[in-house]
Amino acid sequence: MAIFKGAAVAIVTPMYQDGSVNYDEFRKLIEFQIENGTDAIVVCGTTGEASTLSHEEHLDVIKYCAEVVNKRIPVIAGTGSNSTETAIYLSTEAEKYGVDGLLLVTPYYNKATQNGLYAHFKAVADSVKLPIILYNVPGRTGCNLMPDTIVRLCTDVENIVGVKEASGNISQIATLAAKAQGCVDIYSGNDDQIVPIMALGGLGVISVLSNVAPRQTHDICAKYLEGDVKEACRLQLEAIDLCGSLFCEVNPIPVKKAVSMIGFEAGPLRMPLSEIEPKNEERLRASMEKYGLI
């Protein structure tokens, strides 16, 4: 059974001006998501600035999220690393906190072979009992997890169940769906490709857009799952301009600004990420206004 179907938010990690995690605001963001129909929360992913959290902070944020959500919806913890040993450590610790699944990004910088990726993911999966979603985002990692490897992992390893596909390559995703024959839970990793990927058999999205438009993102998926493809497509196209603006600079720079625009104290970014450029902030604000969020 899938960990979730529909829209999971890749939630931001709000911070105080000194760069420490703002847990009070994080609670508000979690409640906002649940109240507005988000189907699951992915904590400490790319959007949550996991790469600049210390291991202690990383695990504290996961634990806090699991406690606040308290099983109302699934919580999926980002515990991937370019070090297999580190990924095992983060994953085994996160499992203790009662999360419902793990999201494991392909090792970045190392540029492992497909056999190396297989061995890496299998080693992490063998260390836990939780279901695992792989995360393929070659534009960030320099490493492309190929369809044959994904199918092999989901076939050979009982608790590897799916993939967040953010390659942007629809042909590659179609090939994966054809080879998988239903053994891989496929989720869109790009908000502008939710409906196209669901049309190939995908179950939903792990979403940046959901940070500011949880109800709308949920509805795109829900309408498709209900069989109202025409309405899902309309909602998808309605969101395209905002999806583009949320990636006018590298994620999560625009979305943290967007979260602040709707009234939350998302706070600053940790270096080396920098604040959004004025021209891009104007573009983002215009898209948010057009979409009816501000």
Domain boundaries, the chain: 6-230
CA–CA dist 33, 75 (Å, integer)? 12
The answer to whether 16 touches 232, Cβ cutoff 8 Å, is no
- Give Cα 12 distance to the centre of its chain: 10
Helices (H) and strands (E) in the chain, counts: 13, 8
CA–CA dist 171, 181 (Å, integer)? 16
Judging by DSSP bridges, how do beta strands 75-78 and 101-105 pair with one another? parallel
3-state secondary structure 227-247: CCHHHHHHHHHHCHHHHHHCC
CA–CA dist 145, 165 (Å, integer)? 9
CA–CA dist 195, 229 (Å, integer)? 8
DSSP type of residue 30: H
CA–CA dist 88, 96 (Å, integer)? 13
- Give Cα 69 distance to the centre of its chain: 17
Catalytic sites, residue numbers: 135, 164
Architecture of domain 6-230 in this structure: Alpha-Beta Barrel (3.20)
What is the residue-level pLDDT of the chain in tens, covering all 294 positions?
A: 899 999 999 999 999 999 999 999 999 999 999 999 999 999 999 999 999 999 999 999 999 999 999 999 999 999 999 999 999 999 999 999 999 999 999 999 999 999 999 999 999 999 999 999 999 999 999 999 999 999 999 999 999 999 999 999 999 999 999 999 999 999 999 999 999 999 999 999 999 999 999 999 999 999 999 999 999 999 999 999 999 999 999 999 999 999 999 999 999 999 999 999 999 999 999 999 999 999
CA–CA dist 33, 288 (Å, integer)? 18
E-only strand ranges, the chain: 6-10, 40-43, 75-78, 101-105, 132-136, 160-165, 185-188, 204-207
Angle at 170 between CA 169 and CA 175, to 5 degrees: 100
- Give the residue among 149, 179, 150 at the shortest CA–CA distance from 163: 150
CA–CA dist 203, 131 (Å, integer)? 16
CA–CA dist 233, 217 (Å, integer)? 12
Cα-based distances in Å from 293 to 13, 217, 261, 263, 271:
20, 13, 9, 10, 28
